[in-house]
Structure 1
Amino acid sequence: MLKEERQQKILHFLNDEHKVIASDLSKRLSVSEDTIRRDLKELDTQGLVKRVHSGALRVGPPVVDFSTRQNISNEVKINLALKAIDFIKDNMVLLIDGGTTNLHLVNNLPLSLKATVITNSPPIAMALSNYDYVEVNMIGGTLFKESMVNLGIDTVETLNMIRADLYIMGIYNIDPHIGISIPSISEALVKRKMVSVSTEVLAMVTSDKLDTVSNHIVCPSDSLTYLITEHVKPDVKALYANKGINVVD
Protein backbone atom coordinates (compact mmCIF):
# COMPACT_ATOMS: atom_id res chain seq x y z
CA MET A 1 0.00 0.00 0.00
CA LEU A 2 1.36 3.42 -0.94
CA LYS A 3 1.99 5.94 1.83
CA GLU A 4 -0.60 8.36 0.43
CA GLU A 5 -3.23 5.62 0.30
CA ARG A 6 -2.40 4.52 3.84
CA GLN A 7 -2.66 8.06 5.18
CA GLN A 8 -6.02 8.53 3.45
CA LYS A 9 -7.25 5.38 5.19
CA ILE A 10 -6.05 6.78 8.52
CA LEU A 11 -8.00 9.98 7.89
CA HIS A 12 -11.06 7.92 6.94
CA PHE A 13 -10.83 5.89 10.16
CA LEU A 14 -10.38 9.09 12.16
CA ASN A 15 -13.38 10.78 10.59
CA ASP A 16 -15.60 7.79 11.41
CA GLU A 17 -14.19 6.93 14.84
CA HIS A 18 -12.97 10.36 16.07
CA LYS A 19 -9.81 8.80 17.57
CA VAL A 20 -7.21 6.32 16.31
CA ILE A 21 -4.64 4.29 18.25
CA ALA A 22 -1.23 3.67 16.68
CA SER A 23 -1.03 0.01 17.75
CA ASP A 24 -4.50 -0.69 16.34
CA LEU A 25 -3.70 1.06 13.05
CA SER A 26 -0.54 -1.01 12.77
CA LYS A 27 -2.61 -4.21 12.79
CA ARG A 28 -5.38 -2.90 10.55
CA LEU A 29 -2.98 -1.62 7.91
CA SER A 30 -0.35 -4.38 8.29
CA VAL A 31 2.59 -2.06 8.88
CA SER A 32 4.86 -1.38 11.84
CA GLU A 33 3.93 1.03 14.63
CA ASP A 34 6.97 3.13 13.66
CA THR A 35 5.49 3.56 10.19
CA ILE A 36 2.14 4.59 11.68
CA ARG A 37 3.85 7.09 13.99
CA ARG A 38 5.66 8.64 11.02
CA ASP A 39 2.34 8.86 9.16
CA LEU A 40 0.66 10.54 12.11
CA LYS A 41 3.55 12.96 12.48
CA GLU A 42 3.27 13.95 8.80
CA LEU A 43 -0.51 14.34 9.04
CA ASP A 44 -0.10 16.42 12.19
CA THR A 45 2.43 18.69 10.45
CA GLN A 46 -0.10 19.19 7.65
CA GLY A 47 -2.74 20.15 10.22
CA LEU A 48 -4.95 17.18 9.32
CA VAL A 49 -4.80 15.39 12.71
CA LYS A 50 -3.76 16.17 16.27
CA ARG A 51 -1.20 13.71 17.62
CA VAL A 52 -1.60 12.46 21.18
CA HIS A 53 0.49 9.99 23.15
CA SER A 54 -1.11 6.80 21.86
CA GLY A 55 -2.36 7.92 18.46
CA ALA A 56 -4.29 10.88 17.08
CA LEU A 57 -7.51 12.86 17.39
CA ARG A 58 -9.53 14.81 14.86
CA VAL A 59 -8.71 18.47 14.48
CA GLY A 60 -11.60 20.88 14.87
CA PRO A 61 -12.94 23.28 12.27
CA PRO A 62 -10.43 25.83 10.92
CA VAL A 63 -9.69 28.76 13.23
CA VAL A 64 -11.03 31.84 11.44
CA ASP A 65 -11.88 35.35 12.59
CA PHE A 66 -15.18 36.26 14.23
CA SER A 67 -16.71 37.99 11.21
CA THR A 68 -16.06 34.95 9.00
CA ARG A 69 -17.53 32.57 11.59
CA GLN A 70 -20.72 34.65 11.65
CA ASN A 71 -21.54 33.23 8.20
CA ILE A 72 -20.91 29.55 9.01
CA SER A 73 -23.60 26.99 10.07
CA ASN A 74 -26.00 29.69 11.21
CA GLU A 75 -29.08 27.47 11.12
CA VAL A 76 -27.41 24.85 13.31
CA LYS A 77 -26.15 27.49 15.74
CA ILE A 78 -29.61 29.06 16.05
CA ASN A 79 -31.11 25.63 16.83
CA LEU A 80 -28.52 25.12 19.57
CA ALA A 81 -29.24 28.58 20.95
CA LEU A 82 -32.98 27.92 21.11
CA LYS A 83 -32.36 24.73 23.12
CA ALA A 84 -30.08 26.60 25.53
CA ILE A 85 -32.66 29.31 26.29
CA ASP A 86 -34.58 26.79 28.45
CA PHE A 87 -31.73 26.91 30.98
CA ILE A 88 -31.84 30.70 31.41
CA LYS A 89 -34.19 32.00 34.10
CA ASP A 90 -35.20 35.42 35.37
CA ASN A 91 -32.93 37.05 37.96
CA MET A 92 -29.89 34.98 37.03
CA VAL A 93 -26.39 36.41 36.90
CA LEU A 94 -25.08 35.19 33.54
CA LEU A 95 -21.45 35.17 32.44
CA ILE A 96 -21.21 35.03 28.64
CA ASP A 97 -17.98 35.07 26.68
CA GLY A 98 -17.37 35.34 22.95
CA GLY A 99 -18.51 33.15 20.08
CA THR A 100 -20.97 33.33 17.24
CA THR A 101 -23.26 30.71 18.77
CA ASN A 102 -23.35 32.74 21.99
CA LEU A 103 -24.29 35.77 19.92
CA HIS A 104 -27.19 33.83 18.37
CA LEU A 105 -28.31 32.92 21.89
CA VAL A 106 -28.34 36.54 22.99
CA ASN A 107 -30.21 37.61 19.87
CA ASN A 108 -32.94 35.06 20.61
CA LEU A 109 -33.46 35.74 24.33
CA PRO A 110 -37.00 36.85 25.25
CA LEU A 111 -37.22 40.63 25.52
CA SER A 112 -38.97 40.21 28.87
CA LEU A 113 -35.91 38.52 30.44
CA LYS A 114 -34.77 40.07 33.73
CA ALA A 115 -31.12 39.24 34.35
CA THR A 116 -27.62 40.54 34.85
CA VAL A 117 -25.17 39.67 32.09
CA ILE A 118 -21.42 39.97 32.55
CA THR A 119 -19.41 39.68 29.34
CA ASN A 120 -15.98 40.30 27.86
CA SER A 121 -17.44 40.31 24.34
CA PRO A 122 -18.27 43.70 22.76
CA PRO A 123 -20.66 42.11 20.19
CA ILE A 124 -22.57 40.40 23.02
CA ALA A 125 -22.78 43.65 24.99
CA MET A 126 -24.01 45.55 21.95
CA ALA A 127 -26.68 42.94 21.17
CA LEU A 128 -28.01 43.24 24.72
CA SER A 129 -28.53 46.99 24.42
CA ASN A 130 -32.08 46.27 23.20
CA TYR A 131 -33.06 44.42 26.39
CA ASP A 132 -34.72 46.83 28.82
CA TYR A 133 -34.58 44.47 31.83
CA VAL A 134 -31.05 43.13 31.38
CA GLU A 135 -28.23 44.87 33.21
CA VAL A 136 -25.05 44.58 31.16
CA ASN A 137 -21.62 44.67 32.80
CA MET A 138 -18.76 44.85 30.32
CA ILE A 139 -15.41 43.38 31.41
CA GLY A 140 -12.43 45.32 30.09
CA GLY A 141 -9.03 44.21 28.88
CA THR A 142 -7.13 44.09 25.61
CA LEU A 143 -9.35 43.36 22.60
CA PHE A 144 -8.39 40.06 20.92
CA LYS A 145 -9.72 40.91 17.47
CA GLU A 146 -9.76 37.35 16.11
CA SER A 147 -12.37 36.31 18.70
CA MET A 148 -13.74 39.79 19.52
CA VAL A 149 -13.24 39.36 23.27
CA ASN A 150 -11.32 41.30 25.90
CA LEU A 151 -8.43 39.37 27.46
CA GLY A 152 -5.54 39.92 29.81
CA ILE A 153 -4.71 40.52 33.46
CA ASP A 154 -7.37 43.22 33.85
CA THR A 155 -10.00 40.76 32.63
CA VAL A 156 -8.90 38.09 35.10
CA GLU A 157 -8.71 40.57 38.01
CA THR A 158 -12.28 41.70 37.36
CA LEU A 159 -13.47 38.08 37.29
CA ASN A 160 -11.98 37.58 40.77
CA MET A 161 -14.78 39.79 42.08
CA ILE A 162 -17.63 37.95 40.33
CA ARG A 163 -19.87 35.00 41.15
CA ALA A 164 -22.13 33.89 38.29
CA ASP A 165 -25.09 31.51 38.35
CA LEU A 166 -24.41 30.28 34.82
CA TYR A 167 -21.41 30.66 32.53
CA ILE A 168 -22.19 30.26 28.83
CA MET A 169 -18.87 29.23 27.32
CA GLY A 170 -17.88 29.52 23.68
CA ILE A 171 -16.19 26.28 22.59
CA TYR A 172 -13.42 25.75 20.05
CA ASN A 173 -12.51 22.12 20.81
CA ILE A 174 -13.75 19.49 23.27
CA ASP A 175 -12.73 15.90 23.95
CA PRO A 176 -14.24 13.87 26.80
CA HIS A 177 -10.84 12.70 28.04
CA ILE A 178 -8.48 15.59 27.23
CA GLY A 179 -10.99 18.32 28.04
CA ILE A 180 -11.92 21.70 26.60
CA SER A 181 -9.10 23.34 24.65
CA ILE A 182 -8.40 26.39 22.53
CA PRO A 183 -5.59 27.72 20.29
CA SER A 184 -4.92 30.89 22.35
CA ILE A 185 -3.32 30.60 25.79
CA SER A 186 -4.62 34.06 26.81
CA GLU A 187 -8.18 33.08 25.98
CA ALA A 188 -7.71 29.72 27.75
CA LEU A 189 -6.69 31.49 30.97
CA VAL A 190 -9.72 33.78 30.90
CA LYS A 191 -12.11 30.90 30.19
CA ARG A 192 -10.56 28.89 33.02
CA LYS A 193 -11.17 31.76 35.42
CA MET A 194 -14.77 32.09 34.19
CA VAL A 195 -15.37 28.42 34.97
CA SER A 196 -13.99 28.85 38.48
CA VAL A 197 -16.31 31.75 39.36
CA SER A 198 -19.52 30.13 38.05
CA THR A 199 -21.95 27.75 39.73
CA GLU A 200 -22.90 26.03 36.47
CA VAL A 201 -21.38 25.97 32.98
CA LEU A 202 -23.25 25.56 29.69
CA ALA A 203 -21.74 25.10 26.23
CA MET A 204 -23.35 24.92 22.80
CA VAL A 205 -21.20 22.78 20.50
CA THR A 206 -21.59 21.97 16.82
CA SER A 207 -20.75 18.34 16.00
CA ASP A 208 -17.53 19.22 14.14
CA LYS A 209 -16.01 20.40 17.44
CA LEU A 210 -16.78 17.21 19.39
CA ASP A 211 -13.83 14.91 20.09
CA THR A 212 -11.28 17.44 18.84
CA VAL A 213 -8.33 19.02 20.61
CA SER A 214 -6.21 22.16 20.46
CA ASN A 215 -2.99 23.28 22.16
CA HIS A 216 -4.14 24.96 25.37
CA ILE A 217 -6.37 23.21 27.90
CA VAL A 218 -9.09 25.30 29.54
CA CYS A 219 -10.54 22.70 31.91
CA PRO A 220 -11.69 19.06 32.09
CA SER A 221 -14.79 18.23 30.07
CA ASP A 222 -16.72 17.43 33.25
CA SER A 223 -16.47 21.10 34.24
CA LEU A 224 -19.54 21.45 32.01
CA THR A 225 -22.96 21.14 33.57
CA TYR A 226 -24.82 21.21 30.25
CA LEU A 227 -23.64 20.31 26.75
CA ILE A 228 -26.05 21.44 24.02
CA THR A 229 -25.19 19.81 20.71
CA GLU A 230 -26.57 18.41 17.47
CA HIS A 231 -27.85 14.87 17.01
CA VAL A 232 -24.82 12.67 17.61
CA LYS A 233 -24.17 8.95 17.67
CA PRO A 234 -25.28 7.29 20.94
CA ASP A 235 -21.74 6.15 21.73
CA VAL A 236 -20.39 9.69 21.36
CA LYS A 237 -23.20 11.07 23.54
CA ALA A 238 -22.48 8.40 26.15
CA LEU A 239 -18.82 9.47 26.41
CA TYR A 240 -19.93 12.89 27.66
CA ALA A 241 -22.93 11.71 29.67
CA ASN A 242 -20.68 9.27 31.54
CA LYS A 243 -18.69 12.31 32.73
CA GLY A 244 -21.80 13.53 34.54
CA ILE A 245 -22.63 16.14 31.89
CA ASN A 246 -26.28 16.78 31.02
CA VAL A 247 -26.18 16.27 27.24
CA VAL A 248 -29.00 17.80 25.19
CA ASP A 249 -29.12 16.93 21.50
Structure 2
Amino acid sequence: MLTQQRKKLLLDRLATDGRIIAKDVSRELALSEDTIRRDLRELAADGLLQRVHGGALPASPTVANLAARRSMAREEKQRLGRKAATLISRQQRVFIDGGTTHLELVRALPLELSLTVITHSPTIAAALEPHQAVDVILIGGTLFRHSMVAVGAAALDQIQRLHIDVAFIGLTGLHPKEGGTTGDYEEAAIKRAVIARAAETVALMTQEKLGAVSAYMVSSVKDLASAVVPREADLKGFARTGIELIRA
Protein backbone atom coordinates (compact mmCIF):
# COMPACT_ATOMS: atom_id res chain seq x y z
CA MET A 1 0.00 0.00 0.00
CA LEU A 2 1.34 3.43 -0.97
CA THR A 3 2.00 6.07 1.68
CA GLN A 4 -0.83 8.32 0.52
CA GLN A 5 -3.25 5.39 0.55
CA ARG A 6 -2.22 4.54 4.11
CA LYS A 7 -2.66 8.13 5.23
CA LYS A 8 -6.10 8.34 3.68
CA LEU A 9 -7.07 5.10 5.41
CA LEU A 10 -5.81 6.47 8.73
CA LEU A 11 -7.78 9.71 8.36
CA ASP A 12 -10.90 7.77 7.32
CA ARG A 13 -10.49 5.53 10.38
CA LEU A 14 -10.09 8.57 12.61
CA ALA A 15 -13.26 10.15 11.20
CA THR A 16 -15.22 6.91 11.68
CA ASP A 17 -13.91 5.66 15.03
CA GLY A 18 -12.75 8.87 16.70
CA ARG A 19 -9.29 7.44 17.41
CA ILE A 20 -6.48 5.37 15.89
CA ILE A 21 -4.66 2.62 17.76
CA ALA A 22 -1.35 2.12 15.95
CA LYS A 23 -0.92 -1.51 17.03
CA ASP A 24 -4.33 -2.52 15.70
CA VAL A 25 -3.83 -0.77 12.36
CA SER A 26 -0.36 -2.26 11.88
CA ARG A 27 -1.75 -5.75 12.52
CA GLU A 28 -4.67 -5.16 10.17
CA LEU A 29 -2.43 -3.94 7.33
CA ALA A 30 0.43 -6.39 8.05
CA LEU A 31 2.83 -3.47 8.46
CA SER A 32 5.25 -2.53 11.22
CA GLU A 33 4.13 -0.18 13.97
CA ASP A 34 7.09 2.03 13.03
CA THR A 35 5.54 2.56 9.59
CA ILE A 36 2.17 3.54 11.07
CA ARG A 37 3.81 5.80 13.66
CA ARG A 38 5.77 7.55 10.90
CA ASP A 39 2.54 8.17 8.98
CA LEU A 40 0.93 9.53 12.14
CA ARG A 41 3.90 11.85 12.76
CA GLU A 42 3.61 13.28 9.27
CA LEU A 43 -0.16 13.72 9.52
CA ALA A 44 0.29 15.42 12.91
CA ALA A 45 2.89 17.77 11.39
CA ASP A 46 0.25 18.78 8.83
CA GLY A 47 -2.22 19.48 11.65
CA LEU A 48 -4.56 16.66 10.60
CA LEU A 49 -4.51 14.73 13.88
CA GLN A 50 -3.10 14.81 17.40
CA ARG A 51 -0.73 12.02 18.37
CA VAL A 52 -1.27 10.43 21.80
CA HIS A 53 0.24 7.41 23.50
CA GLY A 54 -0.46 4.37 21.34
CA GLY A 55 -2.04 6.19 18.41
CA ALA A 56 -3.90 9.39 17.55
CA LEU A 57 -7.04 11.44 18.18
CA PRO A 58 -8.77 14.16 16.14
CA ALA A 59 -6.90 17.48 16.16
CA SER A 60 -8.80 20.68 16.85
CA PRO A 61 -9.00 23.01 13.84
CA THR A 62 -9.42 25.98 16.17
CA VAL A 63 -5.69 26.53 16.75
CA ALA A 64 -5.78 28.74 13.64
CA ASN A 65 -4.84 32.40 14.03
CA LEU A 66 -7.31 34.91 15.46
CA ALA A 67 -8.25 36.43 12.11
CA ALA A 68 -9.18 32.99 10.76
CA ARG A 69 -11.11 32.07 13.92
CA ARG A 70 -13.30 35.17 13.67
CA SER A 71 -14.95 33.72 10.57
CA MET A 72 -15.52 30.23 12.02
CA ALA A 73 -19.01 29.16 13.13
CA ARG A 74 -20.27 32.69 13.78
CA GLU A 75 -23.92 31.83 14.32
CA GLU A 76 -23.00 28.92 16.57
CA LYS A 77 -20.75 31.14 18.70
CA GLN A 78 -23.53 33.69 19.05
CA ARG A 79 -25.87 30.99 20.37
CA LEU A 80 -23.26 29.79 22.85
CA GLY A 81 -22.55 33.33 23.99
CA ARG A 82 -26.21 34.12 24.56
CA LYS A 83 -26.75 30.94 26.58
CA ALA A 84 -23.59 31.50 28.63
CA ALA A 85 -24.71 35.04 29.49
CA THR A 86 -27.80 33.60 31.21
CA LEU A 87 -25.53 31.70 33.63
CA ILE A 88 -24.18 34.94 35.15
CA SER A 89 -25.81 36.58 38.17
CA ARG A 90 -25.50 40.13 39.45
CA GLN A 91 -22.61 40.98 41.76
CA GLN A 92 -20.62 37.88 40.79
CA ARG A 93 -16.87 37.93 40.17
CA VAL A 94 -16.62 36.40 36.70
CA PHE A 95 -13.50 35.48 34.76
CA ILE A 96 -13.89 35.67 30.97
CA ASP A 97 -11.17 34.11 28.84
CA GLY A 98 -10.10 35.53 25.50
CA GLY A 99 -11.39 34.29 22.17
CA THR A 100 -14.15 34.90 19.68
CA THR A 101 -16.83 32.85 21.47
CA HIS A 102 -16.26 34.74 24.72
CA LEU A 103 -16.56 37.99 22.82
CA GLU A 104 -20.10 36.88 21.91
CA LEU A 105 -20.73 36.22 25.61
CA VAL A 106 -19.76 39.82 26.43
CA ARG A 107 -21.99 41.15 23.65
CA ALA A 108 -24.93 39.19 25.09
CA LEU A 109 -24.61 40.60 28.63
CA PRO A 110 -27.40 43.00 29.65
CA LEU A 111 -26.04 46.55 29.89
CA GLU A 112 -27.62 47.04 33.31
CA LEU A 113 -26.08 43.89 34.85
CA SER A 114 -23.82 44.78 37.77
CA LEU A 115 -20.82 42.49 38.31
CA THR A 116 -17.04 42.30 38.27
CA VAL A 117 -15.34 40.86 35.20
CA ILE A 118 -11.77 39.67 35.42
CA THR A 119 -9.97 38.99 32.16
CA HIS A 120 -6.46 38.69 30.75
CA SER A 121 -7.75 39.68 27.32
CA PRO A 122 -7.51 43.36 26.30
CA THR A 123 -10.06 42.57 23.57
CA ILE A 124 -12.62 41.38 26.13
CA ALA A 125 -11.88 44.36 28.40
CA ALA A 126 -12.42 46.82 25.53
CA ALA A 127 -15.69 45.13 24.54
CA LEU A 128 -17.00 45.82 28.05
CA GLU A 129 -16.67 49.60 27.58
CA PRO A 130 -20.47 50.13 27.10
CA HIS A 131 -21.22 48.15 30.28
CA GLN A 132 -21.00 50.95 32.82
CA ALA A 133 -22.31 48.71 35.64
CA VAL A 134 -19.39 46.28 35.20
CA ASP A 135 -16.11 46.69 37.09
CA VAL A 136 -13.29 45.37 34.90
CA ILE A 137 -10.05 43.92 36.30
CA LEU A 138 -7.50 43.48 33.52
CA ILE A 139 -4.76 40.93 34.21
CA GLY A 140 -1.40 41.99 32.76
CA GLY A 141 1.62 40.07 31.52
CA THR A 142 3.27 39.07 28.27
CA LEU A 143 0.89 39.39 25.34
CA PHE A 144 0.29 36.10 23.51
CA ARG A 145 -0.72 37.51 20.16
CA HIS A 146 -2.29 34.31 18.79
CA SER A 147 -5.15 34.65 21.29
CA MET A 148 -4.59 38.29 22.37
CA VAL A 149 -4.29 37.35 26.06
CA ALA A 150 -1.70 37.92 28.77
CA VAL A 151 0.46 34.97 29.81
CA GLY A 152 3.62 34.42 31.83
CA ALA A 153 4.74 34.76 35.44
CA ALA A 154 3.14 38.17 36.06
CA ALA A 155 -0.26 36.98 34.87
CA LEU A 156 -0.01 33.79 36.92
CA ASP A 157 0.89 35.73 40.07
CA GLN A 158 -2.15 37.98 39.72
CA ILE A 159 -4.54 35.10 39.01
CA GLN A 160 -3.33 33.11 42.03
CA ARG A 161 -4.49 35.97 44.30
CA LEU A 162 -8.09 35.87 43.05
CA HIS A 163 -11.34 34.34 44.25
CA ILE A 164 -13.59 33.74 41.22
CA ASP A 165 -17.27 32.80 41.37
CA VAL A 166 -17.50 31.47 37.82
CA ALA A 167 -14.86 31.21 35.11
CA PHE A 168 -15.58 30.92 31.41
CA ILE A 169 -12.58 29.11 29.96
CA GLY A 170 -11.64 28.68 26.32
CA LEU A 171 -10.44 25.28 25.12
CA THR A 172 -9.45 24.18 21.63
CA GLY A 173 -10.53 20.62 22.42
CA LEU A 174 -12.69 18.74 24.90
CA HIS A 175 -12.43 14.96 24.83
CA PRO A 176 -14.28 12.62 27.23
CA LYS A 177 -11.05 10.79 28.15
CA GLU A 178 -8.28 13.27 27.35
CA GLY A 179 -10.08 16.23 28.93
CA GLY A 180 -9.71 19.89 28.02
CA THR A 181 -6.71 20.92 25.95
CA THR A 182 -5.26 23.92 24.17
CA GLY A 183 -2.54 24.58 21.63
CA ASP A 184 -0.03 26.65 23.65
CA TYR A 185 2.02 25.65 26.70
CA GLU A 186 1.97 29.06 28.43
CA GLU A 187 -1.73 29.61 27.78
CA ALA A 188 -2.51 26.17 29.23
CA ALA A 189 -0.78 27.17 32.47
CA ILE A 190 -2.92 30.31 32.75
CA LYS A 191 -6.12 28.35 32.19
CA ARG A 192 -5.16 25.79 34.86
CA ALA A 193 -4.50 28.60 37.33
CA VAL A 194 -7.89 30.18 36.64
CA ILE A 195 -9.70 26.85 37.11
CA ALA A 196 -7.89 26.35 40.42
CA ARG A 197 -9.16 29.73 41.70
CA ALA A 198 -12.76 29.40 40.47
CA ALA A 199 -15.70 28.01 42.41
CA GLU A 200 -17.20 26.91 39.08
CA THR A 201 -15.76 26.60 35.58
CA VAL A 202 -17.75 26.64 32.34
CA ALA A 203 -16.38 25.82 28.88
CA LEU A 204 -18.00 27.19 25.71
CA MET A 205 -17.49 24.54 23.03
CA THR A 206 -18.26 24.87 19.34
CA GLN A 207 -18.96 21.58 17.60
CA GLU A 208 -15.55 21.07 16.00
CA LYS A 209 -13.88 21.21 19.44
CA LEU A 210 -15.91 18.35 20.92
CA GLY A 211 -13.98 15.09 20.78
CA ALA A 212 -10.87 16.92 19.54
CA VAL A 213 -7.47 17.13 21.25
CA SER A 214 -4.68 19.72 21.22
CA ALA A 215 -1.12 19.48 22.44
CA TYR A 216 -1.35 20.77 26.03
CA MET A 217 -3.51 19.56 28.89
CA VAL A 218 -5.67 22.12 30.70
CA SER A 219 -8.05 20.02 32.78
CA SER A 220 -9.82 16.73 33.15
CA VAL A 221 -13.50 16.77 32.26
CA LYS A 222 -14.39 16.46 35.97
CA ASP A 223 -12.64 19.80 36.67
CA LEU A 224 -15.36 21.54 34.65
CA ALA A 225 -18.80 22.13 36.13
CA SER A 226 -20.47 22.47 32.75
CA ALA A 227 -20.01 23.02 29.05
CA VAL A 228 -22.24 25.09 26.79
CA VAL A 229 -22.50 23.17 23.52
CA PRO A 230 -24.45 23.41 20.24
CA ARG A 231 -27.89 21.84 20.44
CA GLU A 232 -27.10 19.64 17.42
CA ALA A 233 -23.83 18.23 18.82
CA ASP A 234 -23.35 14.47 19.26
CA LEU A 235 -22.52 14.07 22.95
CA LYS A 236 -22.71 10.29 23.46
CA GLY A 237 -19.07 10.07 24.53
CA PHE A 238 -19.68 12.48 27.42
CA ALA A 239 -22.62 10.61 28.95
CA ARG A 240 -20.66 9.21 31.93
CA THR A 241 -18.18 12.01 32.51
CA GLY A 242 -20.31 13.87 35.04
CA ILE A 243 -20.11 17.23 33.27
CA GLU A 244 -23.37 19.15 32.83
CA LEU A 245 -23.96 19.73 29.12
CA ILE A 246 -26.00 22.85 28.38
CA ARG A 247 -27.32 22.95 24.84
CA ALA A 248 -27.62 26.26 23.03
TM-score w.r.t. the length of structure 2 is 0.91
The residue aligned with 2:233 is: 232
CA–CA distance in structure 2, aligned partners of residues 219 and 21 of structure 1: 23
CA–CA distance in structure 1, aligned partners of residues 8 and 14 of structure 2: 10
What per-residue deviation string (whole Å, max 9, x for no partner) do you get for residues 61-88 of structure 1? Answer: 0523323322221111101112212211
- Mark the runs of 5 or more structure 1 residues left unpaired by the alignment: none
The residue aligned with 1:79 is: 79
What per-residue deviation string (whole Å, max 9, x for no partner) do you get for residues 108-136 of structure 1? Answer: 11112111101111111111111121111
The residue aligned with 1:32 is: 31
The residue aligned with 1:120 is: 120
After TM superposition, give the deviation of residue 14 of structure 1 in Å: 0.9
SS in 2 for 1:211: coil
After TM superposition, give the deviation of residue 89 of structure 1 in Å: 1.3
The residue aligned with 2:183 is: 183
The residue aligned with 1:70 is: 70
Amino acid at match of 2:2: L
Between stretches 108-117 and 95-104, larger displacement belongs to 108-117
CA–CA distance in structure 2, aligned partners of residues 46 and 161 of structure 1: 40
In the superposition, relative to structure 1, how do residues 90 and 106 fare at CA in structure 2: closer, same or farther (>3 Å)?
same
Indicate if the aligned counterparts of 1:22 and 1:33 stay in contact, CA closer than 8 A.
Answer: no
Tell me the percent identity.
Answer: 36
Q: Within 5 Å, give how 1:19-168 maps onto structure 2.
A: 19-26=19-26, 29-34=28-33, 35-61=35-61, 63-168=63-168
After TM superposition, give the deviation of residue 17 of structure 1 in Å: 2.5
CA–CA distance in structure 2, aligned partners of residues 144 and 3 of structure 1: 37
Indicate if the aligned counterparts of 1:128 and 1:134 stay in contact, CA closer than 8 A.
Answer: yes
CA–CA distance in structure 2, aligned partners of residues 123 and 193 of structure 1: 20
Amino acid at match of 1:243: T
Between stretches 194-203 and 71-80, larger displacement belongs to 71-80
| Residue-pair matches, total | 245
CA–CA distance in structure 1, aligned partners of residues 32 and 179 of structure 2: 26
Amino acid at match of 1:242: R
Indicate if the aligned counterparts of 2:62 and 2:209 stay in contact, CA closer than 8 A.
Answer: no
CA–CA distance in structure 2, aligned partners of residues 198 and 207 of structure 1: 25
TM-score w.r.t. the length of structure 1 is 0.91
CA–CA distance in structure 2, aligned partners of residues 196 and 53 of structure 1: 27
Indicate if the aligned counterparts of 2:141 and 2:152 stay in contact, CA closer than 8 A.
Answer: yes
CA–CA distance in structure 2, aligned partners of residues 12 and 132 of structure 1: 51
The residue aligned with 1:222 is: 222
Q: Does the alignment pair 1:246 with 2:218?
A: no
After TM superposition, give the deviation of residue 92 of structure 1 in Å: 1.2
Structure 1 vs Structure 2 CA RMSD? 1.7
Between stretches 157-166 and 41-50, larger displacement belongs to 41-50
Amino acid at match of 1:240: F
CA–CA distance in structure 1, aligned partners of residues 32 and 91 of structure 2: 57
Amino acid at match of 1:87: L
CA–CA distance in structure 2, aligned partners of residues 161 and 45 of structure 1: 38
Between stretches 237-246 and 160-169, larger displacement belongs to 237-246
- Mark the runs of 5 or more structure 2 residues left unpaired by the alignment: none
In the superposition, relative to structure 1, how do residues 241 and 111 fare at CA in structure 2: closer, same or farther (>3 Å)?
farther
Amino acid at match of 1:247: L
After TM superposition, give the deviation of residue 33 of structure 1 in Å: 5.0
After TM superposition, give the deviation of residue 156 of structure 1 in Å: 1.0
Indicate if the aligned counterparts of 1:241 and 1:247 stay in contact, CA closer than 8 A.
Answer: no
After TM superposition, give the deviation of residue 238 of structure 1 in Å: 3.5
Q: Within 5 Å, give how 1:195-214 maps onto structure 2.
A: 195-214=195-214
SS in 1 for 2:129: helix
After TM superposition, give the deviation of residue 60 of structure 1 in Å: 0.8
